[in-house]
Amino acid sequence: MDNFEGPKEECGVFGVWAPEEDVAQLTFFGLFALQHRGQESAGIAVSNLQRIMVYKDMGLVSQVFDEATLKSLPGRLAIGHTRYSTTGASVWNNAQPTFRATALGGLALAHNGNLTNTHELEAWLSELAPSEHVPEKKTMDSTNDTSLVTAIMASFGDEPLESVAMKVLPRLKGAFCLTFMTERTLYAARDPQGIRPLVLGRLANGWVVASETAALDIVGASFVREVEPGEFIAIDERGLRSQRFAEANPKGCIFEYVYLARPDTTIAGHGVHAVRVSIGRKLAEEHPVDADLVIPVPESGTPSAIGYAQGSGIPYGQGLVKNAYVGRTFIQPSQTIRQLGIRLKLNPLREVIEGKRLVVVDDSIVRGNTQRALVRMLREAGAKEVHVRISSPPVQWPCFYGIDFATRAELIAPGLTVDEICRSLGADSLGYISLDGLTEATQVPADQLCRACFDGRYPIAIPPAQAELLNLEESK
């Protein structure tokens, strides 16, 4: 539920090639639309065709950039990034885009996702011939997998980046949407499973790539198509060139539909808001209850609550008011404030909920602490009954492809029955949508989705040590 203690999205990427536009400003607005995908750091790399400048810092997009900073970044092409740390700590060095000098100039790179074969890649990096650009032992200036890819790409001497990328990309395993650039060319690539979304858009005089279609809308770009899984794109004054570095084997992340993507984004031809409404309708079918009012946990529970109300015929209303700015500040709350817990984020509308039998719709339960506090708060505000409905199945497994749910030990679902979880939350009833119901609502065939956090079937091999730790073989 909305980054309070819920799943944390990995990153958002953006790229633009538009010689006649203010590309730094376009990138700023693109990142602004992708802020929900990462709120720890933001950065932009821009090139005026001669040299690349990178500006990045910790904080939200609007905290990192102001008018003066953007004006100091003139150029013809740019990439940008918003980060939530999945690999490597949340420190400045791990902010993106990363930058490296190569034999041919500069290379800036931004990554959304998480690689699963970093050990292999580290070994490969140390095998590659030493070069002045990737110094002795190739010591990394940061601990993230993005720097590793940048360092590998910079290790190929004066070989053109386009051919270097066709050697490097097939060796990356895991989830990756990359935008990268040299002084003259913008590049984008998406892993063969297409775990994370990446789309291509057209400006009157240029091209845009972005994590979500909502970022195309905000900069006035029209949607052209998705970057295909396994596709590598280059854009410069010669136009757009597309190559395939691997066969597509689509396994899009089902959690993008549940929670991660913006509701006004379109994935695989389906609007995310509409999918969430239809998840809510299915939830009403699967877990009906006699009640007076359906309320969402705003904002992420809203579309499914609308769907639940439509499916059940129970009136829909707003019973909770959200403080939209909580979770978007770097000021750590004091102990006194922290004790207020959920009230920092949500406040009940007593006059709406008093004496009512409520259906409360939320997108997921990770640890359960938030929902427990929520149920208590609604009862204190006078709710007669509280029936919790969740628009995703129980989260049973960690994600290795860029989402931070917490460790398996911290998840509430493994080892507990739904009844036990319901009791632990203090709710009158609890219903999760089934995995089949959720899959049907996305309208994407099950074999083209990653659903591993719900069923433990990881479509891309996870590091052996992790698989052993999770005892995966037994789980299936």
CB 406 within 8 A of CB 46: no
Please, which residue, 266 or 392, has the CB nearer to ligand SF4?
Answer: 392
Residues near 192 by beta carbon (within 8 Å), at least 6 away in sequence: 229, 230, 246, 247, 248, 249
Binding to ligand SF4 by residue 253, rule CB under 6 A? yes
Binding to ligand SF4 by residue 277, rule CB under 6 A? no
Residues near 368 by beta carbon (within 8 Å), at least 6 away in sequence: 412, 421, 424, 425
Please, which residue, 208 or 399, has the CB nearer to ligand SF4?
Answer: 399
Return the range that interacts with ligand SF4 (CB under 6 A); candidates 94-102, 222-230, 247-255, 359-367.
Answer: 247-255
Q: What track of x and - describes contact with ligand SF4 for positions 451 through 470 (by CB under 6 A)?
A: xxx-----------------
**3-class secondary-structure state, position 319:** coil
Return the range that interacts with ligand SF4 (CB under 6 A); candidates 27-35, 283-291, 293-301, 446-454.
Answer: 446-454
Residue 300, annotated ligand binder? Answer: yes
Binding to ligand SF4 by residue 401, rule CB under 6 A? yes
Among all residues, which ones are annotated catalytic? 11
Residue 392, annotated ligand binder? Answer: no
Find the shortest distance in angstroms from Cβ 254 to ligand SF4.
5
Please, which residue, 187 or 255, has the CB nearer to ligand SF4?
Answer: 255
Binding to ligand SF4 by residue 259, rule CB under 6 A? no
CB 83 within 8 A of CB 111: no
Find the shortest distance in angstroms from Cβ 111 to ligand SF4.
15
Query: DSSP secondary structure string, 331-344?
Result: SPPPHHHHHTGGGG
**Gap between the Cα atoms of 168 and 126, Å rounded:** 14
Query: DSSP secondary structure string, 1-44?
Result: -TTSSS-B--EEEEEEE-TTS-HHHHHHHHHHHTGGG--SEEEE
**3-class secondary-structure state, position 202:** strand
Binding to ligand SF4 by residue 450, rule CB under 6 A? yes
Please, which residue, 254 or 390, has the CB nearer to ligand SF4?
Answer: 254
Q: What is the dihedral of CA 244, 245, 248, 254, to 10 degrees?
A: -110
Residue 422, annotated ligand binder? Answer: no
CB atoms within 10 A of CB 73: 22
Q: What track of x and - describes contact with ligand SF4 for positions 193 through 222 (by CB under 6 A)?
A: --x---------------------------
CB 200 within 8 A of CB 209: yes
Residue 264, annotated ligand binder? Answer: no
Q: Site size for ligand SF4, by CB under 6 A?
A: 11
For residue 97, cis peptide bond before it (omega within 30 degrees of 0): yes
Please, which residue, 178 or 452, has the CB nearer to ligand SF4?
Answer: 452
Residue 450, annotated ligand binder? Answer: yes
Q: What is the length of the chain?
A: 476
Please, which residue, 209 or 253, has the CB nearer to ligand SF4?
Answer: 253
Annotated binding site: 253, 300, 362-363, 399, 450, 453
**List of residues contacting ligand SF4 (CB under 6 A):** 195, 253-255, 399, 401, 403, 450-453
Annotated binding site for Mg(2+): 300, 362-363
Annotated binding site for [4Fe-4S] cluster: 253, 399, 450, 453
